[in-house]
């Protein structure tokens, strides 16, 4: 159900998310200090490849990490297994990635 590949993928995505989360919180706190408006923030993020990479990486890491975690919960609590469990994992990963990347594109593209 959770073999070493999924285990490692979940731990590695956690390692990626940890500094990105700290960076995200730090930027949020910094950005509101001077009273920046939404338009002013978007002016800084849109067209920035760095912010796109920052939040794009974040969104993909969240999608993989969350999908593996929910896979475990759904298997152990609801008894889902086999192909249905794999389908569930991929659907959650794809859904989270789509939602996350959609938001990233809206802010940085």
Partner 1 sequence: MNDTGLAVSNLATATEELSVSVWRGDQSGGRFEQFTVPARQNQTVLDVVAYVQQHIDPTLTYRFACRVGMCGSCAMMVNGEPRWTCRTHVNNATKENRLEIAPLRNLPVIKDLAADMDPFFDKWVGAEGVHHPSRSRHDPIAPIDPTSAHRIEASEGIECINCAVCYAACDTVAANDDYLGPAALQRAWTLYNDAKDDGRAAILEAVSGKGGCHNCHSQGGCSHYCPNELNPMKAIAGLKRATTASFFGRKGNS
Closest to 104 in 3D by CA, of 32, 96, 67: 96
Q: Annotate each residue in 54-93 with x if it binds partner 1 (CB under 8 A) or - if it does not, as one string.
A: ------------------x--xxx----------------
Joined together, the tokens standing for residue 32 give 């509101």
Beta carbon of residue 58, minimum distance to partner 1 (angstroms, whole number): 24
Number of residues forming the site for partner 1 (CB under 8 A) = 12
Helix (H) or strand (E) holding 16: helix 4-33
- Distance, in Å, from the CA atom of 77 to the CA atom of 103, rounded to the nearest integer, reads 31
Residue 8 found at the interface with partner 1 (CB under 8 A):
yes
| Site residues, partner 1 (CB under 8 A) | 1-4, 6-8, 11, 72, 75-77
């Amino acid at each position: 159900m959770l073999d070493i590949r999924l285990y490692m993928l979940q731990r590695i995505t956690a390692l990626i998310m940890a500094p990105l989360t700290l960076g995200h919180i730090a930027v949020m706190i910094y950005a509101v200090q001077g009273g920046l408006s939404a338009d002013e923030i978007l002016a800084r993020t849109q067209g920035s490849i760095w912010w796109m990479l920052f939040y794009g990486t974040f969104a993909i890491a969240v999608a993989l990490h969350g999908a593996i975690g929910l896979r475990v919960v759904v298997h152990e609590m609801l008894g889902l297994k086999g192909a249905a469990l794999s389908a569930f994992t991929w659907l959650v990963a794809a859904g989270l990635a789509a939602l996350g990347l959609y938001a990233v594109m809206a802010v940085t593209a």
